[in-house]
Structure 1
Amino acid sequence: MTDDAWRALERQQTVEITTVGRRSGRAQRIETWRYRAAGRYWLTGSPGRRDWYANLLAQPAFTLHLADRELAVRGRVVTDPDERARVFGEIVPGLEWAGSLDSWLAGSPLVEILLD
């Protein structure tokens, strides 16, 4: 990602993403939050099932919509327990509403945002 794009992403925590529906093949746009940990940017959410995550498992390319630009990116799904523990260990403690780190490790999606 260009330095300008990284700066734009740094300024905006609430983002919209468009994924390709795993069954429908249609564009699905939602609002979500991006997080920063380990010097990188991530998509995740409180524990539970997420359609956007299932879509990214099937098709990792997606569009990241920021206030002043749209970026073609791809998601790197993180399943490695040690990497998940490191990343969630930075994200979860800063969220007053988050609940336990263990619950996030067990049930939250984790996707790194990468330049396509």
Structure 2
Amino acid sequence: MIDIAALAANRTIDLTTWGRRSGRPVRIEIWWFHVDGRLVITGTPGPRHWYANVLANPAVIVHIGDRDLPGTARPITDRRLRHQVFIDVQTSWYLSQAPLEELIQNSPMIEIELG
């Protein structure tokens, strides 16, 4: 059994997605957050390669410490949940980057389910 809360204590992870055109693995360093029992990755408004990749192929690998954990990424499109993520104490600093409404409408946001 994976202890999600313990994993999420490590804010910085590496995330492998598969290139939407090349099909090759692409590994990036990124932050994730544990919000309302979910493992969430988001960012400021604008296009992101990692987001386009998971839209094309939701399979991901989360690299944390010495562990490589396969998972599935799902876009978070529910407006209420997107709002909840951006007002959470962990992620509220995004409010200094863009207005809340713009964050809700235009930011890339996924939930990762491990296993």
Residue 98 of structure 1 corresponds to: 97
Among 46, 49, 57, the alignment partner of 2:47 is 49
Is 1:25 the counterpart of 2:23 in the alignment? Answer: yes
CA distance in 1, matches of 2:79, 2:49: 22
8 A Cα contact 1:19 1:28, kept in partner = yes
Aligned residues: 114
Q: Which moved more, 1:99-108 or 1:54-63?
A: 99-108
Shift of 1:11: 2.5
Given the two structures, how large is their TM-score scaled by the length of structure 1? Answer: 0.86
1:75-110 Cα deviation digits (max 9, x unpaired): 111112222122222254245743322221121111
Residue 81 of structure 2 corresponds to: 83
3-state SS of 2:32 partner: strand
Once the two structures are aligned, what percentage of the paired residues are identical? 42
Residue 62 of structure 2 corresponds to: 64
- Give 5+ residue unaligned stretches, structure 1: none
Q: Which moved more, 1:82-91 or 1:104-113?
A: 82-91
Shift of 1:50: 0.4
8 A Cα contact 2:86 2:95, kept in partner = no
8 A Cα contact 1:85 1:105, kept in partner = yes
- Give 5+ residue unaligned stretches, structure 2: none
